Amino acid sequence: MACDFYKLAVPGVKDLSPYQPGKPIDELERELGISNSIKLASNENPLGPSKQVNAAINAELSDLSRYPDANGFALKQALQERFNIAAGKITLGNGSNDVLELLGRVFLQPGNEVIYSAHSFVVYMLVAQASGAKSIVTPAQEWGHDLDAMAKAITPETRMIFIANPNNPTGTWADQSALDTFMAKVPDNVLVVLDEAYTEYVTEATYPDGLLLQNTFSNLIVTRTFSKAYGLAAMRVGYAVADAAITDLLNRVRPPFNVNSLALAAAVAALNDEAHLQSSINLNLQGMKQLEQGFTELGLSWIPSVGNFITLDCGKEAAPVYQGLLQEGVIVRPVANYGMPNHLRITVGLPEENQRCLVALEKVLSL
Region 228-234: mean pLDDT is: 96
Q: Which residue has the higher pLDDT, 298 or 7?
A: 298
Distance, in Å, from the CA atom of 220 to the CA atom of 222, rounded to the nearest integer, reads 7
Q: How far is CA 351 from CA 92, 131, 170, 283, 294, in A?
A: 34, 43, 22, 8, 12
Region 83-109: mean pLDDT is: 94
What confidence tier does 21 reach under pLDDT thresholds 50, 70, 90?
Answer: confident
Q: Give the per-residue pLDDT at 1.
A: 54
**Type of residue found at 196:** E
Region 86-105: mean pLDDT is: 94
Q: pTM, whole model, 2 decimals?
A: 0.94
Q: Which of 84-88, 195-199, 213-217 has the lowest mean pLDDT?
A: 84-88
Q: Which residue has the higher pLDDT, 16 or 330?
A: 330
Q: Comparing C-alpha atoms, which of 336, 367, 358 is closest to residue 38? A: 358
Q: Which residue has the higher pLDDT, 142 or 36?
A: 142
Domains, the chain, in order of start with CATH, read 21-48+275-366 (3.90.1150.10), 51-272 (3.40.640.10)
pLDDT tens digits along 316-346: 999 999 999 999 999 999 999 999 999 999 9
- The residues near 53 (Cβ < 8 Å, ≥ 6 apart) are 231, 232, 266, 269, 270, 273, 276
| 88 φ/ψ sector (left φ>0, alpha ψ -120 to 50, else beta) | left
- The residues near 57 (Cβ < 8 Å, ≥ 6 apart) are 262, 265, 266
| Pair type for strands 309-313 and 301-303 | antiparallel
> How high is the mean pLDDT of the chain?
94
